[in-house]
Amino acid sequence: MSERPDLHLRIAAQREQRAALGRTRVRRTVIRRDGMRCEVLDPDGGASRWLLNFCSNDYLGLSRQFAVVNALQDAAAREGAGSTASHLVCGHHAVHDALEHELADWIGAPRALLFGSGFLANLAVVQALLGDDDLCVQDRLNHASLVDAARLAGCRLRRYPHADADGALRQLRGNPDGAALLATDGVFSMDGDIAPLRELALAAHAQRALLYVDDAHGVGVVGPDGRGSVAAARLPGAAPLQLVTLGKALGGYGAAVLGDADVIDHLAQTARPYVYTTALPPAQAAASLAAVKLARREGWRRDRLLAQVAQFRRLAARAGLELLPSDTPIQPLLCGGDAEAMAMAAALEAQGFWVAAIRPPTVSEGRARLRVTLSALHAPEDIEALVDALARAAARVGIASGKTPAFTSQGAANPGHETRPQP
């Protein structure tokens, strides 16, 4: 009988491998915030310093908006720190109910169901709807939670080249047996582009598959009244099942799945990440309720954000910086290698800017990048200063016009393949 592997040795080997590849992740500690400025501890033990944050998902600037914070504080004073149980036991409070109704009304869906996070929500949807004989077809650049959800559900997982609706249709046609779910991000978190939802909806309809859109980075930012990529696509017929996060443009924490009443009720009855976990704290739900109302009412936040995206792209082009095509607040600058991305991030930090370097496995090999994100709280002069700093850093590292790796938005996506979890 072979000797059982030692988990501590395996952990050590993987740690050494990450270090050798330059892929050790460092958790930074924020001491305090002032708008988009953060005081951040030096990870090597040096003095803290103030950085202008260009890697936050607080797109509308609602995380510290006074009405949102007041709602959180008032609800905590009344309801306490936690919900005390799952929704189906005694943890479902009136403010949870109000938030679900507000979200459904805003998005234009029959019903909404709250979850502790978008990751949990995606696990819940796929696990509750699909089984061993079913099929989940996904974009190759989908968020990791959707991929993990399919693997945990035990269904067949087939992936198509990024944003390729014809590829999605081929995958659905090639697996005619069993129920099928076509899942895609609405706005892709690392590339910032928007899925071809009209074409995907047609493919799903033709193959009697349910379309599920994870619109974590779309709701609040794109579409009429900020209702997201699904609303922007103006899909014919019934709206697909979709996920709305509370932790990005809405500045809070948690998520909701919205869709047909029968599907939402099925999730509430059977989805393990819903049935077997404590409900969101009522105070957090109250803060998100206030944020949703502000996002609906204050369209100037989106208008300002769109103007900033246009300004950033215009100045970046003038500086010879080649960005991926994106009309959303997510503006990636490809660096190619991990070392170049890390050097760029370090050079920006030395100039007072916080921009995250994104490396594999979050993105494909050879597609390391700076993921610049914009917020309604940034001023035009902040963006001007960032582009100047990016140009200086790119010149120093050797990432300038004509030197950016010539990748397409497909990245390393090869034709879709089938995977099935092992017993």
Catalytic residue ranges:
189, 217, 248
Binding-site sequence positions for substrate: 25, 143, 362
Q: Of 56, 29, 64, 94, nearest to 252 (Cα)? A: 64
> Which residues line the annotated binding site for pyridoxal 5'-phosphate?
118-119, 189, 217, 245
Q: Which amino acid is at 37?
A: R
Helix (H, G, I), strand (E, B) or coil at 354: strand
How many angstroms separate the CA atoms of 72 and 76, rounded?
Answer: 6
Tokens of 150: 């399919």
d(C-alpha 174, C-alpha 194), whole Å:
25
Residue keyed to tokens 């892709």: 188
Q: Give the H or E element holding residue 31.
A: strand 30-34
CA distance 88 to 269: 9
Contact (Cβ atoms closer than 8 angstroms) between residue 273 and residue 241: no
DSSP secondary structure letters along 47-76: --EEEEE-S---TTS-TT-HHHHHHHHHHH
Annotated binding-site residue numbers: 25, 118-119, 143, 189, 217, 245, 362
Q: How far is CA 158 from the centre of its chain?
A: 21
Contacts of 410 (CB under 8 A, 6+ apart): 161, 162
Rounded to an integer, what distance in angstroms lies between the CA atom of residue 355 and that of residue 28? 12
